[in-house]
């Protein structure tokens, strides 16, 4: 089994604290710090993290590429997922959605994560989201990660040793 938190990206989450959260040196009022949480399954980030915001913008700007790959008959494309920010009160928890289909401008799928901080959605729950509201997307093409912009940000923040361990633990390759 893969040990690294991002080794199975569809099972992991990314959290941004809501606008009402008080962020001091990467912590909110509940004591959450930016970076991996205690059980290393969730990467916490400030809602103002410039690299994560850029990753979200890139994901939204290129969602057409994702939808084109998802709806193509190319069997070298697989493991499709989108990341969406579910909200409860002042918390926003980003989770991966898999088993996707497209109808019009909406993506339909199943939540692939167990929420850690919010309780109004659950793993396995079917959801529909507008294509313009996704935060990220990814799929594998011939063994290479396509998209996955937030995954790339987190990977870039790893030490060389962590990155080497991570790269060994995943089934896809990076550029």
Write out the DSSP string of 40-73: SSEEEE-TT-HHHHHHHHHHHHTHHHHHHHHHS-
Query: Which residue pairs from 45-52 have beta carbons closer than 8 angstroms and sit at least 24 positions apart in sequence?
Result: 45/14, 45/15, 45/16, 46/16, 46/17, 47/16, 47/17, 47/18, 47/19, 47/21, 47/23, 47/92, 48/23, 49/16, 51/153, 51/156, 52/14, 52/16, 52/150, 52/153
User: In the predicted model, what is the mean pLDDT of residues 3-16?
Assistant: 43
pLDDT, residue 42, reads 73
The mean predicted confidence, pLDDT, of the chain is 82
In a domain, 169, yes or no: no
**Higher per-residue confidence, 152 vs 37:** 152
In a domain, 3, yes or no: no
- Calpha distance 106→14 (Å, rounded): 22
pLDDT interval class at 25 (50, 70, 90): very low
In a domain, 2, yes or no: no
Task: Return the SS3 of 156.
Answer: helix
pTM of the predicted structure, to 2 decimals: 0.80
Which structural domain range is residue 141 located in? 9-164
- Calpha distance 170→145 (Å, rounded): 10
Residues near 175 by beta carbon (within 8 Å), at least 6 away in sequence: 144
In a domain, 147, yes or no: yes
Q: Tell me the pLDDT tens digit for each residue of 51-100.
A: 999 999 999 999 999 999 999 999 999 999 999 999 999 999 999 999 99
pLDDT, residue 46, reads 85
Residue 86 sits at the vertex; the CA angle it makes with 130 and 138, to the nearest 5 degrees, is: 60
Q: Report the interhelical angle of 149-156 vs 50-61 (nearest 10°).
A: 150
Q: Tell me the pLDDT tens digit for each residue of 130-169.
A: 999 999 999 999 999 999 999 999 999 999 998 998 899 8
Q: How far is CA 153 from CA 14, 72, 138, in A?
A: 12, 28, 13
State the DSSP code for 95: E
Residue 7 class from Cβ within 10 Å (0-12 exposed, 13-18 middle, 19+ buried)? middle
> How many separate domains does the chain show?
1
In a domain, 173, yes or no: no
């Amino acid at each position: 089994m893969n040990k690294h938190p991002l080794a199975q990206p569809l099972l992991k989450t990314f959290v941004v604290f809501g606008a009402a959260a008080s962020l001091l040196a990467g912590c909110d009022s509940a004591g959450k710090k930016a970076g991996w949480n205690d059980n290393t399954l969730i990467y916490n980030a400030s809602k103002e993290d410039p690299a994560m915001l850029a990753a979200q913008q890139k994901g939204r700007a290129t969602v057409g590429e994702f939808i084109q790959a998802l709806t193509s008959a190319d069997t070298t494309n697989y493991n499709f997922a989108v990341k969406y920010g579910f909200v409860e009160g002042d918390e926003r928890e980003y989770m991966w959605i898999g088993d996707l289909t497209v109808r019009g401008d909406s993506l339909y799928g199943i939540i692939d994560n167990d929420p850690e901080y919010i309780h109004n959605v659950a793993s396995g729950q079917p959801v529909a989201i507008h294509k313009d509201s996704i935060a990220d997307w990814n799929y594998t093409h011939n063994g290479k990660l396509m998209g996955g912009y937030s995954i790339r940000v987190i990977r870039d923040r790893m030490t060389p040793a962590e990155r080497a361990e991570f790269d060994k633990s995943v089934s896809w390759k990076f550029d």
